[in-house]
Amino acid sequence: MADQAGVTSTANVSVVVNPDQGEVLSGLGGRKRFTIPRGSGTTTIANFGGVGRGDRPSPAVIAEADTLVFQGADLIARNLLLDQVGSDLQLTFEGVPNTTVVLKDFALENLDNLRTSNGASVNLANIFFNGDTSIRDSFDVFDANSTRTSVFRTNTVTFLNDLNNVVRGFDGADVINGQGGNDTLYGLEGNDLLRGGIGNDLLYGDAGNDRLVGGLGADQFVFRTGEPFEAGDLGIDTIVDFNGAEGDKIALRRRTFASLSSPVGNGLNANDFAVINAPTNGSAGNLAARIIYNQGTGDLIYNQNGAASGLGSGGRFATLTASPTLTANDFRIFA
């Protein structure tokens, strides 16, 4: 028996998606595995069977749970992007072109992977990423009304909801996706990936070499410790998409960047900020300015000792991808 999309409606059916086939596939009729190769264009699936909320799905949910099997370089959990577009869920991967899945009339919170080793009642997966040979609980999704203040587990990928979340990671390599809402995300220690998504977000990479993606909205990339700056305390973060025209700011704590003369508020004093354009950062230690932006490398440097030779206890603390233009007004100082 075939459903209206031409896919046989029997349990455990495997469907290999052809590039740009254009048809709408269906998840009806038992558990189906949809193999999605890299570069396969846009694949649209109706009636996709989600694992659902919680870690104890009903027999009815288990019987209809479908699986996406992604095959190709970089189709991994860390790169997964989920966007709720109206009633549909769109899946893409950061840095991977021409590979999109649209799940019709499907809510983000119904997507999940479960393993009994993590407390679930069953091993069940909606997604196999490239290279997976067994079910991995490689990502977590907040329910639409969840107000959790931390991710579920360390060293995993977490998707929040569209509320104004305040969420902390652990001291591992966490990936936190803010989705909608005005979110505040704390990476804590470890080399984290924080994506704000849509909204005016605050991203605290904290210790470690973090990757910060603000997304749409006026976002703040926050640099702070509890003590005066010491090279290495903050790591060197990568700010992927700084956009001053959207109202993005680089927020610096006065207690950390203690030699700044700029008062608390928006903007740096003229004598606190300088721009150079050089292939290396060697000349930064010869300037009197305290915050130096090398547009040649995209690097942000703290010059703790000002006009004295070298950087004192300062150093590089961030790199801006694509070396956008920065002015003193792109900064904010807080206590």
- pLDDT tens-place string over residues 215-236: 999 999 999 999 999 988 999 9
Residue 18 maps to a domain: yes
Average pLDDT of the chain is: 94
Q: Return the closest-CA partner of residue 231 out of 295, 281, 160.
A: 281
Domain that holds residue 107: 13-128
Are the C-beta atoms of 64 and 51 separated by less than 8 Å? no
Write the single-letter amino acid at 16: V
Are the C-beta atoms of 143 and 160 separated by less than 8 Å? no
Q: Return the closest-CA partner of residue 217 out of 174, 187, 178.
A: 178
Euclidean distance between CA atoms 125 and 140, whole angstroms: 12
Split at pLDDT 50, 70, 90, the class of 4 is very low
Euclidean distance between CA atoms 180 and 203, whole angstroms: 14
Domain count, the chain: 1
- The order of strands in the sheet holding 88-93 is 24-26, 41-46, 96-103, 88-93, 80-85
Split at pLDDT 50, 70, 90, the class of 16 is confident
Q: Would strands 32-37 and 273-276 be described as parallel, antiparallel, or unpaired?
A: unpaired
Are the C-beta atoms of 89 and 102 separated by less than 8 Å? yes
Residue 24 maps to a domain: yes
For residue 17, the 8-state DSSP code is: P
Tokens of 301: 């440097």
Split at pLDDT 50, 70, 90, the class of 20 is low
Euclidean distance between CA atoms 93 and 77, whole angstroms: 9
Residue 253 maps to a domain: no
Query: Does 11 have pLDDT greater than 90?
Result: no
Q: Please work out, in degrees rounded to the nearest 5, the angle formed at the alpha carbon of residue 220 by the alpha carbons of 277 and 240.
A: 50
Are the C-beta atoms of 167 and 151 separated by less than 8 Å? yes
Euclidean distance between CA atoms 32 and 202, whole angstroms: 40
* β-pair partners for 292: 274, 301
Query: Does 9 have pLDDT greater than 80?
Result: no
Residue 214 maps to a domain: no
Model confidence over 128-176: pLDDT tens digits? 999 999 999 999 999 999 999 999 999 999 999 999 999 999 999 999 9
328 phi and psi angles, rounded to 5 deg? -60, -25
Residue 62 maps to a domain: yes
Among 12-26, 68-82, 202-216, where is mean pLDDT lowest?
Answer: 12-26
Q: Return the closest-CA partner of residue 175 out of 189, 154, 203.
A: 154
Residue 262 maps to a domain: no
